[in-house]
């Protein structure tokens, strides 16, 4: 039986993380979200705070200032953080079956075989609603907040990979989670995985 | 039971048409590909040749010349053709359950409820192979041909709709047909339809 490796790229508020969590649970495999940052921090010796501050967004000016001081081997600090995460993703995928959320995991595992890359989207209004109800974002600013996270993730993905964010050809399956809901989406992806790995 | 209306937008050579055909067959519903052009021609009184020449691509200079002569109600001729197709799509979807291939059907039916919009892609190399093997395109020019059709369809879709071609958020489901093959893709979409329409 092939080792199941599933990456999920998700629009903020689409429920992609929850879908991934439930999927990992039902498949009985590991789930990696920001746990990856801990692994990257531990393996690289760089403090976890730096990974958290820079998580799935391009660096801020403070990190630019650090670049010359802490960059390893002449590489800017933000790139060092990205490569440490890349290593962490490749390490866990080499060790065991897992679901990995975000962090350009599809790109990190581009040379691995048998990886399923998924993209989860949802209509903008649904994502704003989820931002308010699930993540507790202030109603007044929720729409702006969702737009900003969209921009951050897009910019991060396009900068660090040789692909463009949200292009169906980068994924075997893209799913609008509002069509079937969270439960239905999990079920459909389970079917996809069953067909794909033929088990 | 809801009337099943399924639109399929597909990259050239992805097998999206065949998937749609098999889907329509297994669901026992109508299938519309270039049959739509016949309906549009019949209903509009414009000769079918014009629809065929202009099918899913922006107009050529000859049609621009015709614009002032044959355009109806001050509308350029290529727009007249597009609107006639739009009417044909809306007509068939109002009458019965169906699968509709290409021709901006997702846009034409944007105000209909319960429509499933699918996007079928495949890796470029697979599409070139299919162009040669299934559509008999000369091996020497097949890659260029696929690129050209990609450009035509993208340009046509972006011009006539208020959306951008190949954006996952325009579809409930995007599928890379190479992941599960044609048979597997049909099966997965059948599952999606079953969950979606809850029957």
Nearest-Cα residue of chain A relative to residue B172: A176
Q: How far apart are CA B145 and CA A24, in angstroms?
A: 42
The DSSP H or E segment spanning B8 is strand B5-10
Domain ranges within chain A, ordered by starting residue:
5-197
* Contact with chain A for residue B174, Cβ under 8 A: yes
Question: pLDDT tier at B179 (50, 70, 90 boundaries)?
Answer: very high
pLDDT in tens, B86-142: 999 999 999 999 999 998 999 999 999 999 999 999 999 999 999 999 999 999 999
* Contact with chain A for residue B31, Cβ under 8 A: no
The closest alpha carbon to A54, from A79, A31, A88, belongs to A79
How much is the ipTM here? 0.88
- pTM, to two decimals: 0.90
Task: Return the CATH fold of B5-197.
Answer: Rossmann fold (3.40.50)
pLDDT in tens, B35-53: 888 887 788 778 788 877 7
b/e burial code for range A145-155 (CB count within 10 A of at least 16 → b): bbeebbeebee
First to last CA, chain B: 7
* Chain A with chain B: Cβ pairs closer than 8 A: 77
* Contact between B93 and B26 (Cβ < 8 Å): no
Whether A179 and B172 lie within 8 Å, measured CB to CB: yes
Q: How far apart are CA A165 and CA A162, in angstroms?
A: 10
pLDDT in tens, B53-72: 777 776 655 555 555 555 55
Question: pLDDT tier at A176 (50, 70, 90 boundaries)?
Answer: very high
Whether A169 and B171 lie within 8 Å, measured CB to CB: no
């Amino acid at each position: 039986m092939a080792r199941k490796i599933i990456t999920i790229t998700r629009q903020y508020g689409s429920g992609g993380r929850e879908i991934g969590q439930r999927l990992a649970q039902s498949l009985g495999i590991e789930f990696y979200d920001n746990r990856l940052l801990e692994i990257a921090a531990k393996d690289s010796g760089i403090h976890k705070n730096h990974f958290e501050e820079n998580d799935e967004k391009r660096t801020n000016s403070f990190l630019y200032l650090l670049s010359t001081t802490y960059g390893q081997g002449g590489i800017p600090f933000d790139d060092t953080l990205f490569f440490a995460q890349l290593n962490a993703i490749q390490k866990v995928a080499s060790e065991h079956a897992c679901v990995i959320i975000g962090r350009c995991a599809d790109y990190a595992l581009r040379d691995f075989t048998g990886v399923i890359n998924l993209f989860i989207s949802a209509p903008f209004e649904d994502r704003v609603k989820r931002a308010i109800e699930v993540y507790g974002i202030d109603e007044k600013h929720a729409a702006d907040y969702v737009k900003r996270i969209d921009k951050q993730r897009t910019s991060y993905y396009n900068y660090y990979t040789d692909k463009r964010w949200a292009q169906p050809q980068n994924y075997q399956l893209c799913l609008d989670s509002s069509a079937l809901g969270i439960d239905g989406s999990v079920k459909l992806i389970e079917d996809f995985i069953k067909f794909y790995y033929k088990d």
